Amino acid sequence: MKIGMRPIDVITFGESMGLLYPEGVKGIGQGGSMAQSFGGAESNIAIGLARLGCSSGWFGQLGNDPIGTGILKALRGEGVDISRARQTDSGPTGLMLRQKVRGQSSVYYYRKGSAASQFKPEHIDSEYIASANILHFTGITAALSSSCLETIRHVISVCKANNVRISFDPNVRLKLWNIEDARPVLLELAESCDYFLPGYDECKLLFETDDEQIILDRLRQLPAISVIKSFNDSNVIVHQDHIYSLPFEPVDQVVDTVGAGDGFCAGFLAGIAKGWTPEEALALGGLTGALVIQAPGDWEALPTWEEVEQLRGNSVHIER
């Protein structure tokens, strides 16, 4: 099967969790009401891809509970294929609480023993993965459990056997594991991918240096096309001797930076799935990331292809 003929542009997998956050100015535990939503880097990206006109799929394991069922309904409603997602009675859907107090965001996770952390290689449908043009995952899944890391390695082997391109965002979460444990695992996974999508601060953690030249040299040694988010007010492609830098898109106002990285990844992968060059895909990623931070929400602000086309000057908005 030729890559361009595969039925699904991008498949993602990982943990999606329920999300609770205070409404109004009160913080968690201060007696105010809480709003609910959901989030997870991989499911956010699947939604972003679907909104950008790509076919996308997400799979993972959720609890057989109202939160898990609600997540699946929302993903289905966004046009994401969830045919391989699972629900189980062996663990609950994970939960995260988020607050923003005096301009500082904090996230609290309740995911130990979650359904997602019990994901195993035997839960994988190899034929489904082989149907993808690109398979995307993040380092968050590797941090959840040893069986989740085994599952990632198995998925990578399936991708390699079926010429499915691999995209990997390390998404370092130091509330899930310390950097000494994370570093060798994430660097191992970076060696296996076709597109490596770290933030610049993550590069400093992974390569144990603040020296820009050393970081660039280490990225050049990877087989992947590396895409650095937020490097000197730019997004940057590094691949062997090639470096391409694109300044951030200007924004009118920054409302919520949560989800900016997922928005960028969705835009970049959408460009690659559409057959664009990495440089063209980088511009789309920068645009989608800039749009996301101008509205609140993990995934709610992800733009549609029509919105992107208007900003690119390829269509006109008719108000009424």
- Mean pLDDT score of the chain, rounded to an integer? 92
pLDDT at site 314: 60
Are residues 82 and 125 in contact, defined by beta-carbon separation less than 8 angstroms?
no
pLDDT at site 319: 44
Are residues 223 and 199 in contact, defined by beta-carbon separation less than 8 angstroms?
no
Q: What is the mean pLDDT of residues 189-211?
A: 97
pLDDT exceeds cutoff 90 at 294: no
Are residues 128 and 50 in contact, defined by beta-carbon separation less than 8 angstroms?
no
pLDDT at site 268: 98
Q: How far apart are CA 285 and CA 295, in angstroms?
A: 17
CA-based diameter of the chain, in Å? 57
Token pair listed for 270 = 């959408």
Are residues 105 and 258 in contact, defined by beta-carbon separation less than 8 angstroms?
yes
pLDDT exceeds cutoff 80 at 257: no
pLDDT, one tens digit per residue, over 15-38 is 999 999 998 777 898 888 999 999
Q: How far apart are CA 189 and CA 149, in angstroms?
A: 10
Are residues 202 and 170 in contact, defined by beta-carbon separation less than 8 angstroms?
yes
pLDDT at site 5: 58
pLDDT exceeds cutoff 50 at 315: no
Which residues are marked as active site?
Answer: 262
Q: What predicted TM-score, i.e. pTM, was given to this entire model?
A: 0.93
pLDDT, one tens digit per residue, over 77-117 is 999 999 999 999 999 999 999 988 777 788 999 999 999 99
pLDDT at site 253: 78
